[in-house]
């Protein structure tokens, strides 16, 4: 008998997309949206912090269309409009009227766009190493989005992600490489971010005026030594969003939730616990 993969949660239909979603814990819902690395899934991104946050909240972590174990429909347009519709569809399918949002990198851009378009569906906002504002694409992000499958390429990417190289061992590289070559994974990934890739940075950005109009309590988190998404992004978000607070982890790359998992879970848990279920934003 084969052991089921921990990356597989339950299947729901969200905005017409068969969606793999993890749903654990009780309390006020928190929707956690993963990043856009090759072979990524919600579980791969959030596995170290979901159990801690699930002690106080209902943690919802979907694989977005084109990633992980959610559907990859033929002809599907991988656009922010469609991803936002899917995220709202997850909430609708689970009959959740309002949730806290935690977005990592690409997921931060998605969380921003969702909060702008559907403010009443969001209570509090957490943006981690976030895309969503204009910036010149880094060599690191260009390498991530331009990944072609090989163990050597995956190892090189993981070295870019983490400040602490001891986190990047051969076993992790093999696991993430194996994930990136599952049927359909690389095909959808390559279709999302073809060169030139600066245009995808811009396609994910929300308008400055819209970001400045956000009135949700927002926690902005970044690794000081991030080589994928520049720290300047989070400084910008913290300046533009009126009710923002900023936390920067030193000795940390793009993997805040992995490199500083316990601190990340406490920081986010405390921030979300400040709100009462009845409060909106």
- Residues annotated as catalytic are 105, 226, 254
Residues 6+ apart with CB under 8 A from 56: 25, 27, 269, 272, 273
HSE-up of residue 1 (Cα within 13 Å, Cβ side) = 2
Q: Which residues pair with 217 in a beta bridge?
A: 124
CA-closest candidate to residue 62, choices 28, 103, 95: 103
β strands within the chain, DSSP E: 10-14, 17-24, 29-33, 58-62, 99-104, 122-128, 217-223, 244-249
φ, ψ dihedrals at 12, nearest 5°: -130, 165
């Amino acid at each position: 008998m084969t052991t089921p993969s921990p990356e597989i949660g339950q299947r729901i239909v969200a905005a017409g997309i068969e969606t793999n979603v993890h749903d654990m814990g009780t309390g006020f819902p928190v929707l956690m949206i993963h990043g856009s690395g090759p072979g990524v899934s919600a579980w791969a991104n959030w596995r170290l912090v979901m159990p801690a946050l699930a002690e106080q909240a209902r943690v919802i972590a979907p694989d977005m269309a084109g990633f992980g174990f959610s559907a990859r429909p033929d002809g599907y347009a991988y656009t922010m409009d469609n991803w936002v519709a899917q995220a709202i569809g997850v909430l609708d399918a689970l009959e959740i009227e309002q949730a806290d949002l935690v977005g990592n990198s690409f997921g931060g851009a998605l969380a921003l766009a969702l909060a702008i378009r559907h403010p009443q569906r969001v209570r509090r906002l957490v943006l981690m190493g976030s895309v969503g504002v204009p910036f010149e694409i880094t060599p690191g992000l260009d390498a991530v989005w331009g990944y072609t499958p090989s163990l050597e390429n995956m190892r090189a990417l993981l070295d870019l992600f983490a400040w602490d190289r001891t986190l990047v061992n051969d076993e992790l590289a093999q696991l993430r490489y194996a994930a990136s070559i599952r049927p359909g994974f690389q095909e959808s990934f390559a279709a999302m971010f073809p060169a030139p890739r600066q245009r995808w940075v811009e396609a994910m950005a929300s308008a400055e005026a819209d970001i400045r109009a956000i009135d949700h309590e927002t926690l902005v988190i970044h690794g000081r030594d991030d080589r994928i998404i520049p720290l300047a992004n989070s400084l910008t978000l913290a300046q533009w969003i009126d009710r923002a607070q900023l936390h920067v982890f030193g000795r940390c790359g793009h993997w805040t939730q992995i490199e500083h998992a316990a601190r990340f879970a406490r920081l986010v848990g405390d921030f979300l616990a400040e709100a009462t279920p009845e409060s909106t934003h």
